[in-house]
Amino acid sequence: MRRSRAETDASHVKLSRRAALLGGAQLLFMGGLAARMRYLQVDQADQFRLLAEENRINIRLIPPKRGEIFDRNGVQLAQNVPSYRIVIVREDAGDVEDVLSRLATLIDLTPEQTESALAELNRSAPFLPVTIAEDVSWDAVSAVSVNAPALPGVSPEVGSTRVYPRGSDFAHVVGRVGRVSQKDLDALEDPDAVLRIPRFQIGKINVEAREEALLRGFAGTKQVEVNATGRVMRELARREGQSGADLQLTLDAKLQNYVQARLSGESAAVVIIDCEKGDVLANASAPSYDPNLFIGGISSKNYDPLLNSEYRPLVNKTVQGAYPPGSTFKMMTAMAAIEEGIIGPDETVYCPGHLEVGGRRFHCWKRAGHGWVDLENSLKKSCDVYYYDLALKVGIEKISAMAQRFGLGIRHDLPLSSVNSGLTPTKDWKLRQRGESWVIGDTVNASIGQGFMLASPLQLAVMTARIATGRDVTPRIVKSVNGVEEPVLGNGSLNMNEQNLRRMRRAMNAVVNDRRGTAYRSRIIAEGMRMAGKTGTSQVRSAVVNNNEVPWEQRDHALFVSFAPYDAPRYACAVLVEHGGGGSTAAAPIARDVMLQALYEGEPPLDAYPTADRGRIETQQKQLRDVPPQARINKGKDQA
């Protein structure tokens, strides 16, 4: 049946509407597709180009050159030297075990090194080089190069490693580096990518570790083209990194060397500080060790003696050790009393050889007593009863507060590991830490640097420098960074009564230069070089027994603090001899010798010593000149 004209027109309208809708949809789709193509090809072109480049170009880090370390006069203490190693590429070697066997006939290659190399080869990609031997000699490099045709896949490489040319002299100051360990990485919240470079070295202790951020520098980068398996085809671009900063320390290598030599055979520590700037000129702990042994990993044969020695060569006794300061603390008790006006410097106290306190008898070291003594005589003769009496009048709080003003009980911020803060106890401290109330006997013990009172040799040197100058002398070890001088810290006035300080210095002068002084035998007689000081004996046992009658580890520690010249102080010094007995016999002679070396900036003339000592000193000086640093490593009394 034929459709009417009206029906035909209506059908055409429907078809036209559908065609328009379909065409519009097609146009919208094509427009969206075009817009997406434009976005990908134009707007995101750089991003996709980079992704394409990453498929064939790798960016690799170039290790920065580590900054070097020097003494105050430019003597090198830590340096970078070329290090040769032998590597092997598995896919080029063919029969790896046969190649390693042939290599072992040319260089010193232990079975352990061979096994380690094989294990690493099995873990690594076949085209990556694996180190077989490190720190090999030039002769070994030459032997491998000459025999290259017989050693497929084996080649020598040159890198850089750390070396400490002064050996054991600066082990406890400069420290050492070592390979980055997983422990090192775990300790960092966001470790620098350069730390993941194989065999990269970082500071482990002391200046090397504490100044790591300055010494490490910043890595460079290089672009290398690699194939689908990751093999490097060629280098495309390189951007060099930034070398680490060079550090100049305040220490004097010549003086440090002498001090270490002078301490040979002892378990001891010496700190010498410049009274003007607080520069630490010598920071010696004995016995010491050779840090070069640790660079590539120390063997058990070398490490066990260091770890197990009763003389503790791995411990820096100058800052890590905290010892009862003994009679070297008496100046603090006296300063607390006279600054408070509790006692005048000319007032006297009677010493019968003991003092009864709370039903307990506290003895003076001289059982017969010293009779009537004033400030100068009490220090000169080291009378204990005088200070017992002062302590009862002034109290522990003021004594400890005075000690802190002079640098005790404070952790001095030096770039050394495990710097000890010592201890200046108070009533609250004992209650908080021990759950016990303070008793009067604790104050009496503290007055002569015993009981809970603890100090490091560094703190005692700072205390002495502050007494000598009346200023807030603050120690520093880093003198400059890349030639830019570091600021001198502190050095303001202690705001102490200058008259009282003068009396204290005069009393310390009498200790050394008065015939009845406890350190008279260790005086300096050179004009303008007189030394003032104070002896100390730190008890390590409660029983009163002669030191010669007990084993070494139960003997008293010997201490001595000093400054010189007396009329115009330049240097302050603290000496500790572990289990050395009396400060006057063991520590004072060492202090006199090292102080003279500092004052004369080298070997002093014999006429600086008392006539009776010159023959012995001449022999001693010759012996010390003839002993090289490496011969002093890890020596103790039973080895010297």
Alpha-carbon distance of 458 to 361, in angstroms, equals: 33
Rounded to whole angstroms, the Cα distance separating 454 from 403 reads 11
Catalytic choice (267, 285, 309, 327): 327
Q: Which of 572, 600, 576 lies closest to 475 in space, CA to CA?
A: 572
Q: What is the DSSP letter of 207?
A: H
CA-CA distance, 552 to 311, in Å (whole number)?
A: 11
- From residue 168, give the alpha-carbon distance in Å to each of 55, 164, 171, 302, 313: 50, 9, 5, 14, 10
- Residue 37, class by beta-carbon neighbours within 10 Å (0-12 exposed, 13-18 middle, 19+ buried)? exposed
Distance, in Å, from the CA atom of 382 to the CA atom of 378, rounded to the nearest integer, reads 5
Q: Provide the H-helix boundaries in 476-581.
A: 498-513
Q: Give the 3-state secondary structure of residue 143.
A: helix
The span from the CA of 472 to the CA of 456, in Å, is 18
Q: How far apart are CA 507 and CA 512, in angstroms?
A: 9
Picking from 162, 168, 138, the residue whose alpha carbon sits closest to that of residue 630 is 168
**Sequence-ordered list of residues with C-beta below 8 angstroms from that of 251, at least 6 positions apart, any chain:** 71, 72, 170, 173, 280, 281, 282, 283, 477
Comparing CA positions, the residue from 129, 146, 147, 125 lying closest to residue 86 is: 129
Q: Among residues 113, 163, 103, which one has the least CA distance to residue 134? A: 113
What does the block give as tokens for 25? 């949809």
Contact 458, 471 (CB under 8 A): no
Active site residue 327: yes
Which DSSP string do the residues of 259-277 spell out, in sequence order?
HHHHTTTS-EEEEEEETTT
Number of helical H runs and strand E runs in the chain: 21, 23
Which residues are CB-neighbours of 493 under 8 A, at least 6 positions away? 470, 471, 472
d(CA 300, CA 385): 51
**How many Å apart are CA 384 and CA 329, to the nearest integer?**
11
Query: Which amino acid does the sequence have at 425?
Result: P
Determine how many CB atoms are found less than 10 A away from the CB of residue 15. 10
Residue positions annotated with a catalytic role: 327
